[in-house]
Amino acid sequence: MKIQILEKNDISMRLLIEGTNAPLMNTLRRIILSEVPTMAVDDVVILENSSALQDEFLAHRIGLVPLKTDLDTYNLPENCECKSEFGCNLCRVSLVLDVEAEDHTIVVRSSDFKSENPTVIPVSNEISLVKLAPEQKIRLEAYARLGKGKDHARWQSVSMCTYKYKPIISVNTELCNSCGECVEACSRNIITKTGKKIEIRNLENCTLCQDCVKACQETPKAVKSSWDETSFIFAIESTGALTSERILREALNILDGKLVEFLKQLPVKKT
């Protein structure tokens, strides 16, 4: 297997992975979507809410706010030694929201949360939660825990995780009359025309829509579009809770753990 990083930053990552197959890519994708733990609020104690939004709506919105996650400090509640329904300081973080609109309408945002751990805070300060009219007030305590996407989408570490085959586009120069129809048809600007020459650029952006092939007026077609069944473009976009690299590493560790467990449980015949 050969891996090349096409693009990488804290939030998103795109890899070209060669010499593998779709089942492995899908396994990785599904683990990333459903098993990499992140922090999210799953319990809200509302002390006062005079806003127009009902308590349940407000709690639901707060649950969906992505929180920066510290996987090295916190335990999943089911693995924590406290075994307590309420959690301890190794498996739970409390965040307080105490906002009052005095004489004018205000928007309560994620930045209004006061967290007991300054590293576990909303990934963005700009997430709107509710509008308060003058004299309306919200006072609540929210409890965040680690959880997994398979239990609820609020714990999903990524907003997107996909893979696609590596595209292959070829232009047969003997059949091509450089009419440029395929260049016009390509919405991703992958096919370009320089002078009389048709060139392919940024092939990884191709969605294999086949529009270039349909646009080609020649018979047989001068443009051919297909894919490599052993090469994939794998993309991750984090919610901001963890870095894209950490998500991938965690997913690989989880996969590794599953295989070790499988081997352990496999009945072995003693010879």
92 or 221: whose CB is closer to Zn ion?
92
C-beta of residue 104 within 8 angstroms of C-beta of residue 135: no
Q: d(Cα 225, Cα 232) in Å, to the nearest integer?
A: 16
57 or 86: whose CB is closer to Zn ion?
86
**Beta strands 93-100 and 114-115, pairing class:** antiparallel
- DSSP code for 266: S
Least distance CB 89 / Zn ion (angstroms) = 7
43 or 112: whose CB is closer to Zn ion?
43
Least distance CB 6 / Zn ion (angstroms) = 40
At 55 the three-state DSSP class reads helix
Using CB under 5 A as the criterion, which residues of the chain lie in contact with Zn ion when the complex forms?
A: 80, 82, 87-88, 90-91
5 or 88: whose CB is closer to Zn ion?
88
CA distances from 183 to 93, 212, 214, 253 (A): 54, 7, 12, 44
Q: Give me 68's structure tokens.
A: 């920066």
Least distance CB 165 / Zn ion (angstroms) = 44
The answer for residues whose C-beta is within 8 angstroms of residue 106's C-beta and 6 or more apart is 99, 131, 132
Least distance CB 8 / Zn ion (angstroms) = 34
92 or 154: whose CB is closer to Zn ion?
92
90 or 259: whose CB is closer to Zn ion?
90
Least distance CB 90 / Zn ion (angstroms) = 5
Q: What are the helix (H) ranges across 13-139? A: 22-34, 55-63
Cα 197 to the center of its chain, rounded Å: 39
Least distance CB 142 / Zn ion (angstroms) = 17
Residue 180 phi/psi, 5° resolution? 85, 5
Least distance CB 83 / Zn ion (angstroms) = 8
**Beta strands 93-100 and 106-109, pairing class:** unpaired
93 or 248: whose CB is closer to Zn ion?
93
C-beta of residue 265 within 8 angstroms of C-beta of residue 258: no
